Amino acid sequence: MPAVATEAEPTTQQHGGRLIAARLKAYGVTKLFTLSGGHLFSIYDGCRAERIDIVDVRHEQSAAFAAEGWAKVTRTPGVCALTAGPGVTNGMSAIASAHQNHSPMLVLGGRAPQFRWGQGSLQEIDHVPFVRPLVKFAATAQDTEEIPALIDQAVRTAVAPHSGPTFVDLPLDYVFGEAATADPPAPLPDLASGPGADRRAIDRAAALVRDSERPVIMAGAGLYWGRGETALRSLAERLRIPVFANGLARGCIPADHELAFSRARRTGLQGTDLAVVIGAPLDFRLGFGGAFAPDAAIIAVDLAEPAQDAPRHLTAELYGALPATLETLREAASHPEPPPEREAWIRSLRATEDDLRAGEKEELADDRAPLHPMRVFGELNRLLDRDAIVVGDGGDFVSYAGRLIDSYAPGCWLDPGPLGCLGCGPGYALAAKLAHPARQVVLLLGDGAFGFSGMEFDTLARHGVAVLAIVGNNGIWALEKHPMEALYGYSVAAELQLGTRYDEIAEALGCHGELVQTPRDLHPALERALASGRPALVNVLTDPSVAYPRRSNLA
């Protein structure tokens, strides 16, 4: 007898937004940063169904910066959804920032419906051509069925070395249409457990390290993304090598560790005979390689080869998973006893470090009014927990903070990075506090930077996110005004309104606000703000005549 036909199991159909949300949830995503837009409604519906929090902001730039901030403080992909046309274009500065910072991030773009394409729908524009140069992957969904696979490709590409942003454009008709659910995705790769650099390359580098008398380690954000902090500390301690750090590498070795240095950076880099540069490009922050002694050998260590050639000769190059690479280098370069010259080198750098820190004491206690920026950070340091997350968004004011605020754990210092885009701070701080609600999150804002995204204090208040913001209010664009006056004897386009009440703006938006005009008022105001249990802004009037010293020992 012929086999009896049985009824096929019904296939579960879900709309495109639910397919997206289910994929995000499978990858561990818990927050979607966005600004409301009709092209995104089905994504919101899917996120509600999958219990992904929808965190809405006041400007798409901040949604994208919040997604990048989430990536920075969690080392997992941040996700934002931007509505069609101006929603996507408003987010482009943040996408560019994530690109230069190697921040893993998925941007979901709303798009006019495909069945009406070319007929002039609202906000109809092809985003992919102008987004593509800023991302690792950009594609437009061609039907509802392919959406899960596109999300998979985008997320996996975002986290692969070098990590960075990706973009998926979602036509309105496809994201509202239905398709069958997809099988669960495979787990994301664990970059920290991958293979290290080529062993022969490591052996060549180890020989250089063994022979060095005055080595240094210069660590950058790539160390953080590669989860190399434990291996870095072990290598530095075993081989007795001083460590300097910038960007997200700050805190990967605690600031009070005997081998951690910051103030002595110029002395250390100019005096070294061998620099082990881990996850830090030789860009403007390192003088395009000129920050190191001219005759110093340079060993480049990173997760993957850079996209561009280094501006200076690299003596050795090690590319691979950082824990394995650094652990193998440590063993291969080990002496029974490190060269005695290294202890003298460490003592010399510590003496320089201590002298320079001692030289700051007078300005840290400066009693002028309006306040010296250093007085602000001297008071703040007394109130910060060791695991406090500090976000810098500004120019001159944040330059002082970068010099004076010490970090003791990974992911505790967030700044704009090499793109230098102002306005990132509220988004970063929002994400940081949502990711780590029990920790202090402090946002340092120049008064110029406040103008880019000050309305996000409404966002902080609406979502009950208790960030402490401190505005350095000097009424000028200080990083432009002082250099321009030095060059030309005058400045233009460098003035802001003096004494603007940013604290009253914050209060009007539902936050705690304080004005500080004298040093004696600062510490109590900071204590009250921290104790308020609400988002708070302390508006500190700072001296406009004070200019951050551009030629400093920090190189």
CATH 3.40.50.970 domain locations along the chain: 13-189, 359-541
- Coil, strand, or helix at residue 146? coil
Where does 389-455 have alpha helices with state H?
396-404, 425-435, 447-453
Cα–Cα distances (Å) from 545 to 97, 378, 473, 542, in that order, read: 31, 19, 12, 9
DSSP for residue 218: E
Q: Write out the chain's pLDDT in tens, 555 residues.
A: 334 333 434 458 999 999 999 999 999 999 999 999 999 999 999 999 999 999 999 999 999 999 999 999 999 999 999 999 999 999 999 999 999 999 999 999 999 888 888 888 778 899 999 999 999 999 999 999 999 999 999 999 999 999 999 999 999 999 999 999 989 999 998 988 999 999 999 999 999 999 999 999 999 999 999 999 999 999 999 999 999 999 999 999 999 999 999 999 999 999 999 999 999 999 999 999 999 999 999 999 999 999 889 999 999 999 999 999 999 999 999 987 778 899 999 999 999 999 999 999 999 999 999 999 999 999 999 999 999 999 999 999 999 999 999 999 999 999 999 999 999 999 999 999 999 999 999 999 999 999 999 999 999 999 999 999 999 999 999 999 999 999 999 999 999 999 999 999 999 999 999 999 999 999 999 999 999 999 999 999 999 999 988 653 333
CATH architecture of residue range(s) 13-189: 3-Layer(aba) Sandwich (3.40)
CATH architecture of residue range(s) 192-356: 3-Layer(aba) Sandwich (3.40)
The number of CA neighbours under 13 Å toward the Cβ of 538 is 29
Q: Does the global pTM surpass 0.75?
A: yes
- What's the start-to-end Cα distance of the chain, in Å? 87
- Sequence length of the chain is 555
Report the CATH fold assignment for 359-541: Rossmann fold (3.40.50)
CATH 3.40.50.1220 domain locations along the chain: 192-356
* C-beta atoms surrounding 500 within 10 Å: 17
> CB–CB of 6/168 below 8 Å?
no
